[in-house]
């Protein structure tokens, strides 16, 4: 999974019908210090994440293993909101 930050939202009214009701968020991966790195991606929100929150992203077929995304054409899902992470015993991020 990837640590990422919620940075925005995407609106799409014309879409595959099975996507109705799925909230699409723009996220950007972050490094161990919480700094945004790399390109954004779009993820379905399975946990009610808010703007600027640190989240966990599951990709590929694993993105469909939530009640929200089951059998949907979705290849990335926010499946957790991160409280904190630590490296070598030192807290690097605390919500």
The site for a copy of itself (CB under 8 A) is made up of 1-3, 7-16, 18-19, 24, 26, 29, 31-32, 37, 39-43, 46-48, 51, 56, 58-67, 69, 71-77, 79-89, 92
Q: Judge contact between 4 and 80, C-beta under 8 A.
A: no
Nearest approach in angstroms of CB 21 to a copy of itself is: 13
Closest contact distance (angstroms) between CB of 23 and a copy of itself is 13
What residue has token string 């703007």?
51
Q: How far is the CB of 24 from a copy of itself (least distance, A)?
A: 7
Q: How far, in whole angstroms, is CA 72 from its chain's centroid?
A: 16
Please state, in angstroms and rounded to a whole number, the distance separating the CA atoms of residues 1 and 3.
7
């Amino acid at each position: 999974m990837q640590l990422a930050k919620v940075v925005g939202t995407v609106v799409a009214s014309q879409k595959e019908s099975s996507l109705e009701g799925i909230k699409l968020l723009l996220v950007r991966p972050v490094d161990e210090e919480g700094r945004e790195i790399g390109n954004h991606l779009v993820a379905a929100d399975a946990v009610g994440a808010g703007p600027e929150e640190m989240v966990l992203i599951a990709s590929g077929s694993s993105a469909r293993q939530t009640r929200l995304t089951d059998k949907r054409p979705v290849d990335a899902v926010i499946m957790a909101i991160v409280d904190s992470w630590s490296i070598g015993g030192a807290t690097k991020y605390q919500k």
